[in-house]
Amino acid sequence: MTDSSDKRTTVTINDQTVERGPQGATHQVAGSDTPTMTTQQGVAVADDQNTLKAGARGAALLEDFHFREKIFHFDHERIPERVVHARGYGAHGYFELTDSLSDYTSASVLGKTGVRVPAFVRFSTVAGGRGSFDVARDVRGFAVKLYTEEGNWDLVGNNIPVFFIQDAIKFPDMVHAVKEEPDSGFPQAQSAHDNFWDFASLSPETVHMLMWIMSDRAIPRSFRFMEGFGVHTFRLVNAEGKSTYVKFHWKPKQGLQSVVWNEAVKINGADPDFHRRDLWDAIQSGQYPEWELGVQLFDDDFADKFDFDILDATKLIPEELVPVRRIGRLVLDRTVDNFFAETEQVAFCTQNVVPGIDFTNDPLLQGRNFSYLDTQTKRLGGPNFTHIPINAPKCPFQNFQQDGHMAMHNPRGRANYEPNSWGRGPRENPTTGYKHYPEKLSGQKTRERGELFADHYSQARQFFISQTPPEQTHIKNAFVFELSKCQTPAIRERVVAHLLNVDEKLARGVAKGLGLTSLPEAAPPAREPLTDLPPSNPLSILKNGPSSFKGRKIGVLVTDGTDTGLLHALKDAADAEGTILELVAPVVGSVKLSDGKVLAADQKIVGAPSVLYDAVVLLPSASGAKLLTGEATARDFVADAFAHAKFIGYGKDARPLLAKGGITPDDIDPGILPLNTAGDFQSFIEACRKLRFWDRETRTHAV
Ligand code: HDD
């Protein structure tokens, strides 16, 4: 902080007064509390403000090793960003098993209950670059590394249980198509462009996934409020060598929640770090996000009878057919100490499994098992990325792999091979060592897919009919939005031709939204779709919302003169629910309440639009409301909360602000609640548990 009283000759840093040098730079020297800065070689640095020169105005000297080392290191700070999932955010925590699966697997992490296994989780978007915004319409990566006593197990999943493609050989095409177009280098972090929809509409296997990414699943409110899925069918193998198929699920204890598209667009401008900040704040404030690990277990009999191929990653197994058994919990309770060291350098690999967990022949999974090791070697600069602390196992590990760039643990002594006569070093262990499930394999070499892979529409339709009406409207609107950004009419029509095989009403709605004068012919299906899959409730977000408003955030608009009693009543009700309040005011430094007390606000109104909050409360004084009616950002605060179907609470002096925000007395609906007594605040928080007043949406979107 600058000390303005002394004409800028001193500054305070960490409560210490520090002198400025002649050119204005601060000179804080090492003392009892401040360690001495050194070069990478450990040599103490005397001056970190000026390069070594021949005279005060002279040329810089090459022998300035401190300068050269500092700049050289800076020049090398960046590593290649991930080719997909570049933008991500990680946190530490633990996994604890509550229900043993030892009948199904020999893996100790799924057998021993009550043991806390350290975990690191990285959430991500897929298409955007490292510096893109958080609330892109996109799949979210949900990658979990469990440091088990038997080695690292990486479950590299997504927040959507199915994938775009069925065979890994299509992955580069799919990723090229969704990322920026190669000539222009844009659009950034969006699928709303011709290349993506061209590829998707020419690849009918994408249709089920398209339904999911056009749904609100692709614009989650927070990492904390989304599900995770292992996607593929994996295999569990027990001590007797018996195999059981398994699909993995992460179910958020906080319930599911997403934002609406218009809100997402605005959040990305107001706070590009919306999701990472949310995760950071939640953990720092002790509201640790938690997920239950669920498994769907099934055998060959089920696999043979199931309508689809369990090796096809574009299909899921409805929970009504194979219920999800909840067997453990994942808690994130520690933020990273250093973003680069942990979140950037963490290297997930699908092939990191432990004894008792094995792969199936899903052609997407098999391809991934090659790709991840390869990409980490490139990204982290060599084969020793496993030596980086975030990637190293926490159980003992030893082998004869040696050397290479940045080798941190080479074998000690003479023996660096086996067998050897020196009686030294590790040897294989047939009892505890990883054994691959001895699946019998036969077949002619061929480039084909399983027959059942070809039904691309039945589950897409099941997904659509499982949604509530607002969710169906959002899906339709998302298709219309994205395809409206495509400049090639034939691509738009091709998508509608696929949608005709999913749901005719949806296809007609999208066609109308695009202004198509006639409906195209339905795309010829590669295989006759099953038409009678029933709706499945777990596929909807709104049917799986939270039971409380815990962990959600209310933006409270306050001004000088705000009623202290009402503000306290709101705080009491919010605290009882575990809801977070953020005070938004005309100025951030101080707000003088009705009783003369001065409060610091959390945000200035221009920097805190209502899109950053789950609900809003308007508690200005009469004069404050008058001031805010002349402020565009305050009017937007109200108008957006209304348009995004949020719950709005208002004190008696807020009416002029409601009016300026475009809410007439006729517009007042059950989602807009007057707040005059302590009891009103209680009812307001209870109403907020529904998250949105969706009925309003049909009245606010005419186009
Ligand atoms: Fe992948 C990263 C998830 C298919 C190749 N993928 C990556 C990450 C996640 C997923 C969560 C980010 C990990 C992190 O946070 O560091 N990927 C999936 C899922 C898929 C999938 C759920 C389908 C079920 N991926 C997939 C295929 C291939 C890849 C078919 C290639 C054949 N994925 C990669 C990659 C990445 C990656 C290029 C980029 C950065 C990285 O691996 O570490 O290797």
All structural domains of the chain: 1-44+69-77 (no CATH), 88-171+216-387 (2.40.180.10), 553-700 (3.40.50.880)
Q: Is residue 158 among the annotated active site residues?
A: yes
CA of 193 from ligand 1 middle (Å) equals: 22
Average pLDDT of 183-192? 97
pLDDT at 2 over 60: no
Ligand 1 atom with minimal separation from the 82 CA: 40
Residue 453 one-letter amino acid = F
pLDDT category at 385 given cuts 50, 70, 90 is very high
**pLDDT at site 587:** 95
> What global pTM score does this model have?
0.96
Query: Which of 20-34, 381-395, 595-609 is predicted least confidently?
Result: 20-34
**pLDDT at site 409:** 87
CA of 178 from ligand 1 middle (Å) equals: 14
Q: Is the CB of 371 under 6 A from ligand 1?
A: yes
pLDDT at 25 over 70: no
pLDDT category at 29 given cuts 50, 70, 90 is confident
Average pLDDT of 496-523? 98
Residue 674 one-letter amino acid = P
Per-residue pLDDT of 135-177, as tens digits, reads: 999 999 999 999 999 999 999 999 999 999 999 999 999 999 9
Are residues 234 and 357 in contact, defined by beta-carbon separation less than 8 angstroms?
A: yes
Question: Looking up tokens 């003392």, which residue turns up?
Answer: 31
Q: Is the CB of 83 under 6 A from ligand 1?
A: yes
- CA separation for the pair 565, 626 (Å, rounded): 21
Question: Looking up tokens 């061929």, which residue turns up?
Answer: 446
Are residues 364 and 168 in contact, defined by beta-carbon separation less than 8 angstroms?
A: yes
Cα distances from 689 to residues 215, 491, 546, 692, in angstroms, run 21, 41, 7, 8
Q: Is the CB of 231 under 6 A from ligand 1?
A: yes
CA of 247 from ligand 1 middle (Å) equals: 17
Are residues 369 and 361 in contact, defined by beta-carbon separation less than 8 angstroms?
A: no
How, if at all, do strands 580-585 and 603-604 pair? parallel
Q: Which of 66, 92, 152, 158 is catalytic?
A: 158
pLDDT category at 412 given cuts 50, 70, 90 is confident
Q: Is residue 85 among the annotated active site residues?
A: yes
Q: Which of 66, 85, 208, 644 is catalytic?
A: 85
Per-residue pLDDT of 514-528, as tens digits, reads: 999 999 999 999 999
Chain-centroid distance, C-alpha 660: 36
